[in-house]
Structure 1
Amino acid sequence: MLLLSALDLTLPLRNPVIIFSLVLFIILFAPILFNKIKVPHIIGLILAGVIVGPYGLDLLRRDSSIVLFGTVGLLYIMFLAGLEIDLVEFKKNRAKILFFGLLTFLLPLILGMLASYYVLGYSFLSSMLLASMFSTHTLVSYPIASKYGIARNRAVTLTIGGTMITDILALLILAGISGLSREEASSTFWLQLIISTAAFVSVVFFVFPILTRWFFKHYDDSVSQYIFVLAMVFLASFLAEAAGLEAIIGAFFSGLVLNKFVPHSSPLMNRIDFVGNAIFIPFFLISVGMLVDISVLINGWGALKVAGVIIFVAILAKYIAAVITQKAFKLSSEEGNLIFGLSASHAAATLAIILVGYNIIIGETSSGEPIRLLNEDVLNGTILLILVSCAVSSFVVEKASRRLALINELDNSDSDIDDEKILISLAYPDTVNELVDFGLMLKPAKSSVPVYALHVTDDERADSQTQVKGEKVLEKAIMHASATENIIHPLIRFDINISHGMIYTIKEHKITDILIGLHHKSDQNKFFGPTTEELFSKIPETIYIYKPAQPFNTLKRMLVLVSNNAEHEPGFFHWLNKLSIVAQSAGIPISFYAAGNTLSEIKSAHEKARSQLRVSYNEFDNWEDFLIFSRELKTDDFFVVITSRKGHISYNSYLEKLPYYLGTYFNSNSFLIVYPKQLDQGINMNNIEQVDPYVIETLADTISTVGKSALNLKKLFKK
């Protein structure tokens, strides 16, 4: 009892240990309890904040610590929105984003102005400021869309882009009205704002990528990389505030910049998601709930009238804007609902605008009471708007996201990835992470394609040390994959030699894709090593030889050189699809170099798949000029060569020089050599039905030509 008496348990709680413990239990149990009654977990956290906050049971005060974590959570949401957005889709739909952004800004602004001026009877400046609050929205429900795996849906992309436009315009109005009320909005003020904004954008979009690429090239420690990412996010947020903008703009822009450096299937991305969704974002939602004062409902008809008008106009305007956008761009009803749900919630920017207006004193009453630009009724009505709009947003986004995720699952159910199996051959501990990362990039996101990690030990050299080494290699691979929430199936094998063990493992498990790291003692004379050379002759499946020279997330472009007639090989579409998956995951463009007929097939395949990749096509068929790529390739390019095994139609004699060229002239570049799936024995007349029709046609033409020549000779001799 003496120990308990030493604790300060008076309300509101002040002991930091008890406060943090209580918040963690809320984060843990609130979603569980509310999910049982089919209420989205976001609403559960907001309602929990209402209950424990100063207007509920008064267990917690919204002090500096809650504000700090809540601010971090809001910035984290905006950062994740920029980080998870599909940049290709974002650039492709920039006109649509601009349309929706202006529409979802102007429509609430106009309706809000009319309602504030004519229904509520506020002055022009007050009405303008209140109407700008209607235009803003906060992506409170974005974590729901992300949880269902539809963060890259075009509706989400439109809404995120529109959010930036509405918030920037609304905050510019706030700056202008604030300046007018204080007589500070001179031409000098606007000029300073334009210059500071331009400086901020230049630093974030031009300096940040250089710093990030340098850091990721020199530091591969997972903790250091995560801390660096957070530091860049909050530095960008601070720079935005210094430029006269809101911190959320800086957080979003930092997400856009870091997007291509953080692959979506990487351990770093998994850590970013985990920490944000476990701690920071729930803190923000609880802090929003602590703002809600339910007692305003009994404070008279004035507050209820203002609250009713604010809630009705804000939600109606966002709904109309979403419907118009859906009809204009022929989106599905689920996508239209998703746009409405994401843009309906009002929180951070809304509250910021109202608090600024509430704190601006424009005069005094006869009794000496201050006259505010926005009165207490507006403040209370806005707090109720936060609760209602977040509830509406959460329910709508939950329902729409669930249906869109189901549709995506049904669309992908017909894909031909069910028979795919990927094998990563691991020999050396220092290459495990790079090979596992690339191997996981070969499988489509969120697919069930199994990935195996194999370590083979030569029976003749096997001892206790080599066995322990193999186990450690596989253990490292499993741990690295688990950091990305992927499962790797470990395989350890003892055989008469390494190549024999690999070949029979591939056949036993029906592997379709084999990833091998370049032999660690490779040079121009012994490039592949005897094990890999034997695989080429005995395994017809797709083989990838990977040599990483720098982290994959620091690469800027994929340059793919394709052997002539590659389109006539059985594995053509398979490797083309795999490279597309890798490029999309890394967010880098592809430049294809191939003969004209091969380029036509590649273009046709991309058009048929409706690929959103940034692709360029360059005609190249003279392999004598292979060394021109030593000038074409830059330091941060990824060089991919599609080659062929001997005896097949896409093979040419210049491919024999490939090891010498790569080992001599391209040693500083990351590169990948792909041996596509091909028939077991090249042209086998006993299995003529398995041969590519192009091969049969070529043979037939040759036989026909020879026959005609023989017939002509016979006629000539007769004459």
Structure 2
Amino acid sequence: MAVNLLTSSPLIAFTILITVIFTIPPIFERLRLPGLVGLLLAGIVLGQNGLKLLDSESETMNLLSDIGKLYLMFVAGLEIDLEQFRKTRNRSIGFGTLTFLVPLIAGIILGRLFNFSWNSSVLIGSLLASHTLLAYPIVSRLGVVTNEAVTVTIGATIFTDTGALLILAICVGIHGGNFSALSLATLLGGLAIYSAVVLFGFDWAGKEFFRRSGDEQSNQFLFILLALFLASVGAQLIGVEKIVGAFLAGLAVNDVLGRSPVKEKIEFIGSVLFIPCFFVDMGLLINIPAFVKTLSSIWLTLVIIVALIGSKFIAAFLAKLLYRYNTAEMLTMWSLSLPQVAATLAATLVAYQAVNPANERLINEEVLNSVIVLMLVTAILGPIITARFATLLQLSPTDFETDKLTTWWENSEDKLIEKSDEPFTVIVPVYNPQTQRYLIEMAALLARHESGRIVPLAITKAHIDMDDPQLATALDQSKQRLNLAREISQEFEVEVSSIIRIDDDAALGISRTSREQNASLVVMGWSRTTGLRARLFGSVIDSVFWSSHCQVAVTRLLSSPTTFRKILVPVGDLTRQTIGAVRFAQILADVNQAKVVLLHVSDRKTPSNLVEKFTSQLSDIAGKSQLQVNTNIQTIRDNDIAKVIIRESQAFDLAVLRSVRYRTAGGLAVSQVTTQLVQELKCSIVLLGEPNS
């Protein structure tokens, strides 16, 4: 009775899934294995070959797995950087063609060698042709995303994934029977028209809806979900596999979402719930006896792995010859295009579940098991190779020589913008009289260096009745704080323009004022509230980080900024944002005749030549400053980055950090290292956050 209840109750099945998703991935990540490997193994253990607690045929698993499969392809479309694709469109299409056709041909030859039909062979080739940018966080962390070879590989993803899904749709259609040249033409024509409707129609509708809905994130979230499922249902109606519609929907709303909080929430709900359900279901489908048999007759699996690795290498090598890339760039392109996860797994499951009237599957269980092994191998191998060779890439040319915050930050997106005649403007929200002086001093020092002005801002909570006595009292208090801010600013002889704003939302009030004043920087104080996330930033600061159009400096100042003589800047990569933090520290040091130390903590396993190369590049960047600032570089080998920074910071007055964000439901979260630093550093802190990232 109890066993029947466990296997038949949707609620119990869902509870088991949530427990697995919550507990298993962190355990495997501690073992330095991908969390999805743990989910696959959990599916095997809980399925028909194990404890029989979950059934892949149940309605609950079918629904959650289907949604996870759609979400996987939707996020794949959403994650493609269209801006990067536009920058190197021709070369991206060129490499995309190579890294699509070479594996496709290899897969077809492989299929025929193992006596698969032409249709199944082409399908196997298409499974090898796509790739997942699993190692993107690595190149992002190393600051080489703007290197042309990396940009071209990222752009090629849109071509490989689209091509693979197109072939999937055709092969599934052929396998279904009653197929002719006319039906193929009808399918392709319908798919072309449908793609245009989704890509252009959803893009237009999304932009219109977002423009009209303003800040209503809940409705925007629901609109994006509706777009995902409408596109998927529409694909089914025209006879195309629904994951094609999900991928097209991701591409369609890509520009609409940009890097907004809504995108983070969309990806969050998929990455923590639905996509893990899909991987657990993949584990449920694995038949252990058949899997063992596949591995015992290892030839198909081995040949598929070798064909994938070899064909992707050939494609990268041809791109090197064609576009004159160096060896490091070629190997990085190869490693980035190796992992076979999102499109490959989703298409494999669709092909495995496709049954013709004769009850024959498009691909058999042996191919399914081989692709799962391929996914495991490439998901581990690709990022390892990327981490090894991406460090050798040259940084893209950039203006490291500027000593103006205005110039540095306005050009943070490498866009040509017209020279603005407006002065450098620092918005300073004032609320707490106890920390107000140090905030104003920090803003005044920066504004004076940039020949700019500061704008002290007091936000007063709006009331329904504008003649409410409480509102009048709050306005008086705001005026008092602004008068104090003006007095402090006059000590530094900078221009001051005070503003009182009545607003329902303090964070949006700050962001809107900074936009209206065309601010270059927002300087805010730390929030002393409860809860881990609130203790770090507070909800107001969290929202400002998301909504602000300019840079935001969150400060915890334990002494007057005029007394800072030793400034520490931990440097983990050479991204523009990190180098912006270095410039921020150097400018503050220039004001106070202070000393700056750039601290790089490297893993003990990092080769010495790579550490020396990084230090040399950092030295070049620091040395290009025309400011008379004493800047030293310190390199320490240790696996505990936070511990080293905390220890070294004891001799410093200020630490300048850069926010490194991960996706969360709430929007902003910092890395574990930054979280620990914020909690344990004993000196003053400035945390710089780039807008809308």
TM range (shorter): 0.5 to 0.7
Q: CA deviation at 1:301?
A: 8.4
Taking the aligned partners of 1:396 and 1:509, their CA distance within structure 2 comes to 54
- Shift in alpha-carbon separation, 1:101–1:507, aligned structure 2, 3 A: farther
Number of residue pairs aligned between Structure 1 and Structure 2: 464
Distance 1:104 1:121 in 2: 25
Question: What is residue 15 of structure 1 aligned with on the other side?
Answer: 9
Q: Does 1:389 align with 2:381?
A: no
1:185 match: secondary structure: coil
Aligned residue number for residue 340 of structure 1: 337
Residue 27 of structure 1 and its aligned partner are, at CA, apart by 1.5
Letter in 1 for 2:196: S
- 1:285 corresponds in structure 2 to 279
2:95 equivalent to 1:100: yes
Partners of 2:150 and 2:277 lie apart in 1 by 23
User: C-alpha displacement at 1:506, in angstroms?
Assistant: 6.1
8 Å contact from structure 1 (residues 204, 254) kept in 2: yes
Q: 1 CA distance for matches of 2:264 and 2:387? A: 21
Matched, 1:184 2:178: yes
Post-superposition CA distance 1:523-546 (Å, at most 9, x none):
xxxxxxxxx9xx99xxx99699xx
**Partner of residue 348, structure 2:** 350
Q: For 1:153-192, what per-residue CA distance to the aligned partner results, in whole angstroms no more than 9, with x for missing partners? A: 6667655654554455445555555666676333321332
Matched to 1:106, the amino acid is L
Superposition map of 1:299-448 within 5 A: 299=293, 303-325=297-319, 328-329=322-323, 330=325, 332=329, 335-343=332-340, 346-356=344-354, 359-360=355-356, 372=360, 378-397=364-383, 400=386, 422-423=426-427
**1:172 and 1:255 mapped to 2: Cα distance?**
16
1:465 aligned to which of 434, 456, 470: 470
Q: 1:45 aligns with which of 36, 39, 49?
A: 39
Closer/same/farther in 2, CA of residues 409 and 65 from structure 1, 3 Å limit: farther
Per-residue CA deviation, residues 631-670 of structure 1 (Å, 9 max, x unaligned), is: xxxxxxxxxxxxxxxxxxxxxxxxxxxxxxxxxxxxxxxx
1:239–1:69 distance in 2 versus 1, CA, 3 Å: same
User: Whole-Å Cα distance in 2 between the matches of residues 326 and 256 of structure 1?
Assistant: 28
Number of the residue aligned with 2:235: 240
- Cα deviation digits, residues 77-107 of structure 1 (max 9, x gap): 3333333433222122222232233223322
Give the Cα–Cα distance (whole angstroms) in 1 for the partners of residues 361 and 7 of structure 2: 35
Q: Is the counterpart of residue 455 in structure 1 residue 459 in structure 2?
A: yes
Q: Within 2, Cα distance between the matches of 1:140 and 1:267?
A: 22
Moved more, 279-288 or 76-85: 76-85
Calculate percent identity across the aligned residue pairs.
Answer: 28
Q: Which residue of 2 aligns with 1:70?
A: 65
* SS of match in other structure, 1:332: helix
- Structure 1 residue matching 2:53: 3-state secondary structure: coil
Contact 1:159 1:342 in 2 (8 A): no
Aligned equivalents of 1:44 and 1:511: distance in 2? 59
Q: Cα distance, 1:228 vs. partner? A: 0.7
Distance in 2 (alpha carbons) for counterparts of 1:385 and 1:401: 24
Partner SS for 2:7 = coil
CA distance in 2, matches of 1:248, 1:146: 28
| 2:253 counterpart residue number | 258
- CA distance in 2 between partners of 1:55 and 1:413 (Å): 59
Farther-moved stretch of structure 1 (461-470 vs 55-64): 461-470
Change in Cα spacing, 1:495 to 1:281, as seen in structure 2 (3 Å) is same
Cα distance in 1, alignment partners of residues 496 and 285 from structure 2? 55
| Deviation of the 1:213 alpha carbon | 2.9
What TM-score comes out, normalization by structure 1 length? 0.53
Residue aligning to 1:641: none
- Residue 77 of structure 2 corresponds to 82
Q: 2:67 & 2:141 partners in 1: Cα distance?
A: 23
Separation (CA, whole Å) in 1 of partners of 2:242 and 2:253? 17
- Tell me which amino acid in the other structure corresponds to 1:81: A
CA gap of 1:402–1:414, structure 2 versus 1, over 3 A, is farther
Distance 1:270 1:513 in 2: 37
Q: Give the distance between the partners of 1:513 and 1:196, measured in 2 at CA.
A: 62
Cα distance in 2 for residues equivalent to 1:516 and 1:387:
62
Give the secondary-structure state (helix, strand or coil) at the position aligned to 1:184.
coil
CA distance in structure 1 between the aligned counterparts of 2:496 and 2:181, rounded to whole angstroms: 64
Unaligned 5+ residue runs, structure 1?
A: 363-369, 428-450, 471-491, 521-531, 545-552, 554-579, 582-719
Q: Deviations over 1:117-157 (max 9, x none)?
A: 33x244545544443443345x3847966996989766676
Q: SS where residue 52 of structure 2 aligns?
A: coil
Instruction: Give, in angstroms, the shift of residue 34 of structure 1.
Output: 1.1
Q: Show the counterpart of 2:200.
A: 206
- Distance verdict in 2 for CA 1:143–1:102, change over 3 Å: closer
Alpha-carbon distance in structure 2 between the residues aligned to 1:388 and 1:186: 33
Partner of 2:667: none
Deviations 1:221-255 (A, max 9, x none): 22111001110122122223333433333223322
TM-score by structure 2 length? 0.55
- In 1, the alpha carbon distance for the partners of 2:496 and 2:312 equals 48
Amino acid of the structure 1 residue aligned with 2:279: L
Of 503-512 and 49-58, more deviation after overlay is shown by 503-512
CA RMSD of aligned residues (A): 5.1
Residue deviations 1:682-714 (CA, integer Å, cap 9, x gap): xxxxxxxxxxxxxxxxxxxxxxxxxxxxxxxxx
Task: Judge conservation of contact 2:352–2:361 (CA < 8 Å) in 1.
Answer: no
Q: What is the CA-CA distance between 1:315 and the residue it aligns to?
A: 3.8
SS in 2 for 1:455: strand
Q: Which residue of 1 aligns with 2:29?
A: 35
User: Could you say what secondary structure the match of 1:423 adopts?
Assistant: strand
CA offset digits 1:22-63 (Å, max 9, x no partner): 211221221221122111223232332233233343321113
- State the alpha-carbon separation in 1 of the partners of residues 498 and 347 from structure 2: 49
